[in-house]
Chain A
Amino acid sequence: MSTWTKKAGLGLLAAALGTSLLAACSNGNNETPGGAEAEPGDNFNATGYPIVDEKETQHFVISKGPAHGDFDEMDTVQALEEMTNVHIQWEAISQSGFDEKKNLMFASGELPDGFFLGLNSQDVIQYGQQGILLPLEDLIEQYAPNISRIFEDYPAVRQAATAPDGHIYALPWFEGYEYFLYRNTLLINKTWLDNLGLDVPETTEEFHEVLKAFKTQDPNGNGKADEMASTWLHNEATRGYYELFGAFGAVDAMDMFSIEDGKVRFEGVRDEYRDGLNYLHALYADGLIDPETFTQNADQLAAKTRTGNVGVLAAFTGIFELGEELLSEHYVAVPPLKGPNGDQLWRRQDNRLQQNFFSITSENPHPEVAIRLADAMNETDMRVQLHRGPFGTHLQRTDDGLIEPVDPPAGVNALEFKGQEAPLNSLPLLYPQEDLDLNKPDAPQRYRMEFYEIYKPYIVPEENYFPLTYIDEEKTRRLAILETDIMQYIRKMEAKWIIEGGADAEWDAYLKELGNMGLEEYIQIHQDVYDNLMSAQ
């Protein structure tokens, strides 16, 4: 029996080797990336519309969100095709599972003509430098007047879109509302405050007292201690508790990097950050933070907040979390709390610009058509429609020439309403200020603008903010390795210390552990990135 096993084992090995050879032979035909076609054909018009005389198809991959309808059937998309004569063959991949599929596409060389929303910065740099994604800057200059104008008028946009090697491999999204400068509004239940005769808290200490009162003094008056003092998300920017660290002088407890006098600083090892953790632990120990904060997602959080039985939450506007009725009647924004040492900062998160909304691959036979398509999307009227839905059903013009949204039919989610007819925030749309000024703000925007005024004076200044930029491939790779270990450890300890306390006692061990993981190198790479960026400016 056992000799037979051995023999069979050898045979097996041989068989395996045999197949591997066969397979190896059949797999040697990897194509080298072909660049752009030398000369655009006769079919192509360098200016004016249509872009091509005879209909052409471009195959694009896009990350499909839950609110998106069928891209082929969107009115705005059809209008775009009518104008440009370019048919987009949409490969809309559902957002969950997008990363897996996108990575497999690149790994197997199975590429579309281009990508809209879906790639991340690492992809863009890595595949850009490998030649799989084409550099766009010449194409833009030659064929894309709308985009060129934005780049001229807003150098920061151009800079954020440029890779360290000087090429532009992806177009960004740009919508320059100032209210995108911070992430969370801290909302508090004003009705509860009034019921208990309390004022909106101004310091961290008062905040603690108010939460305690919410928890113990029955602010909803039903005779039961069923109130939830506060609920948040852990390790998420939106709805996270990370803004609270500002009261202790920590600049960014979410992304962990800040700039001080041209030096990159890692917030996760600063005493200010630790003080914030201790404070949150004090809240937690008094039962003032929902324990499910650490495992729930936005939907689960919203299921709680929508009952109106939550004292404090963090939100972009609060409309999703509370609904407009609850928000307008019961909740107000809490201005940044003043900490024990007088610190009063609000975390900056600049979302006016977001990277990676459009790339062209080396497989694309007509990159000039693709770039003109992206430019066509940025015609003033086309842009707003692709973003917010078509005129008539979704948008209308007011008497003074402004554009205002049409309310969705009763019972229909606003985003889903728009998503049926427009690709929403998935295309490379870049708004110049004058076009933003055409928009009459809708309800969520009005709330946001109002909230922004409250936080504006306290938002971390730009010079302390680690800017949005691409990092070269080698550094990215190194960072990916370091970041997994470091950030996972930090989040774990953060949660542990908030729940159990002990940050002071374990702090030195924590610093040491981070040192072992290569924190020094992690920071140094960021410093290099920052220095390069500054010298480029």
Chain B
Amino acid sequence: MCTLKAFQKKIGVNWQLYLLFLPTLAYFLIFQYGPLYGIQIAFKDFSAVRGITGSPWIGFEHFERFFGSYQFWTLLYNTIELSLYGLLVGFPVPIILALLLNQLGHERFKRFVQTVSYAPHFISTVVLVGMMFVFLSPNSGLLNQIIVAFGGDPVFFMARPEWFKTLFVFSTVWQSAGWGAIIYLAALASIDPGLHEAARIDGASKLQRIRHIDLPGIMPTIIILFILEIGKLMTVGFEKAYLMQNSLNIDSSEIIQTYVYKTGLLGAQFSFSTAVGLFDAVINFMILILFNRLSRRISETSLW
């Protein structure tokens, strides 16, 4: 009784806050947790006539089929490689960009570069992939014309499995590095200018100041973003991978997300694709927990 009262009191004082929070809570319960019950079709033989609850249970059959399928290891490998590659290249670039931009003395030039650098962020994926085909075309693409001009043989970038991941990662960098840098620039702006002043008087070079003042100053931001990025590790980029995919680069472009889309939505194997999606989500979540823990141990920064 006592605890219940205490509980009521805690809420009662701030009941208006709960009122404010209500729409958010309702959204998450309805649209995020509501559909969660459907995960059960991963363990069922879903058929349209019987519906989700009426379909018969079949246990782990779909998972077994996936793990035993010819494509399983390729898919897993591709998904992980693509994500890690993307993370290793894509994550540091905005940081470096922000650090360098921050060092530009000329305020207007700096603003100009910054404004230009975020522009690609507003371009949709559909458009981005279309542009890649244009620029990388073996017949008429600019890059290949340059290669040929220097006496090389044209490379058919969009069709080579060994190029797929690089193209994927670097086009993402092109599109989002400037945008990503905004957050770090903001964090950099909040660093006490006095620190830089003092360091300069002590004769520290720009590089030294970047290393010893700027970088530590934005480290908490970096870590938080890193963990969130890790959490999204295996889910990003479905759309782009799908659009860039063709039967030549399929060896390296087929990832779990494209596979789920193709088998589930296009192939109508709903149960199977849900199982594959679930597998993906579980892996993601495990990675997140792992890194969050790691980060808490090393830097005492964590997501929760």
* Stretch binding the partner chain, chosen from A19-27, A49-57, A338-346: A19-27
Residues in B whose Cβ lies below 8 Å from that of A416: none
Interface centre among B34, B51, B70, B263 (most CB of A within 10 A): B70
Is the Cβ of B250 less than 8 Å from the Cβ of A33?
no
Is the Cβ of B48 less than 8 Å from the Cβ of A495?
no
B33 at the interface (CB under 8 A from A): yes
Q: Which residue of B lies closest to A123 (CB)?
A: B268
A-B pairs, top 5 by smallest CB distance, nearest first, are A20-B37, A30-B51, A23-B37, A491-B247, A291-B138
Residues in B whose Cβ lies below 8 Å from that of A23: 34, 37
B59 at the interface (CB under 8 A from A): no
Which A residues fall within an 8 A CB radius of B?
1, 5, 15-16, 19-21, 23-24, 27-28, 30, 32-33, 99-100, 103-104, 106-109, 122-123, 127, 130-132, 228, 234-235, 290-292, 294-295, 480-481, 484-485, 488, 491-492, 495-496, 499, 516-517
Q: Which residue of B lies closest to A100 (CB)?
A: B265
Residues in A whose Cβ lies below 8 Å from that of B304: 1, 5
Is the Cβ of A100 less than 8 Å from the Cβ of B266?
yes
A521 to B208, CA, bound (A): 67
Residues in B whose Cβ lies below 8 Å from that of A106: 48, 268
Is the Cβ of A99 less than 8 Å from the Cβ of B265?
yes
Is the Cβ of B51 less than 8 Å from the Cβ of A291?
no
Partner of B48 from A107, A291, A485, A516 at Cβ < 8 Å:
A107
Partner of B33 from A19, A32, A131, A484 at Cβ < 8 Å:
A19
- What's the nearest-Cβ distance from chain B to residue A43, in Å? 30
User: Which DSSP category, helix, strand, loop or mixed, fits chain A's interface?
Assistant: helix
Please count how many residues in chain B sit with their CB below 8 Å of the partner chain's CB atoms: 41
Is the Cβ of B154 less than 8 Å from the Cβ of A295?
no
Partner of A485 from B70, B159, B247 at Cβ < 8 Å:
B70
Residues in A whose Cβ lies below 8 Å from that of B268: 103, 106-107, 122-123
B3 at the interface (CB under 8 A from A): no
Is the Cβ of A291 less than 8 Å from the Cβ of B247?
no
A495 to B159, CA, bound (A): 10
Which B residues fall within an 8 A CB radius of A?
29, 33-34, 36-37, 40, 46-54, 65, 69-71, 133, 137-139, 154, 156, 158-159, 246-248, 250-251, 262-263, 265-270, 304
Residues in B whose Cβ lies below 8 Å from that of A100: 265-266
Residues in B whose Cβ lies below 8 Å from that of A481: 65
Residues in A whose Cβ lies below 8 Å from that of B69: 485
Is the Cβ of A291 less than 8 Å from the Cβ of B139?
yes
Given contacts A107-B270, A291-B138, A295-B159, contact A24 B53 (CB under 8 A): yes
Q: Which residue of A lies closest to B154 (CB)?
A: A291
- What's the nearest-Cβ distance from chain B to residue A324, in Å? 26
Q: Which residue of B lies closest to A486 (CB)?
A: B70
Is the Cβ of B49 less than 8 Å from the Cβ of A33?
yes
Given contacts A291-B138, A485-B69, A485-B70, contact A492 B37 (CB under 8 A): no
A127 to B50, CA, bound (A): 12
Residues in B whose Cβ lies below 8 Å from that of A495: 159, 247-248
A103 to B263, CA, bound (A): 11
Given contacts A99-B266, A485-B71, A496-B248, contact A294 B50 (CB under 8 A): no
Is the Cβ of B270 less than 8 Å from the Cβ of A295?
no
- What's the nearest-Cβ distance from chain A to residue B142, in Å? 15
Question: Given A30-B54, A295-B159, A484-B262, list of 11 further CB < 8 A pairs?
Answer: A27-B37, A28-B51, A28-B53, A109-B51, A130-B47, A132-B48, A295-B133, A488-B247, A492-B248, A495-B248, A516-B70
A99 to B246, CA, bound (A): 19
Is the Cβ of A484 less than 8 Å from the Cβ of B263?
yes
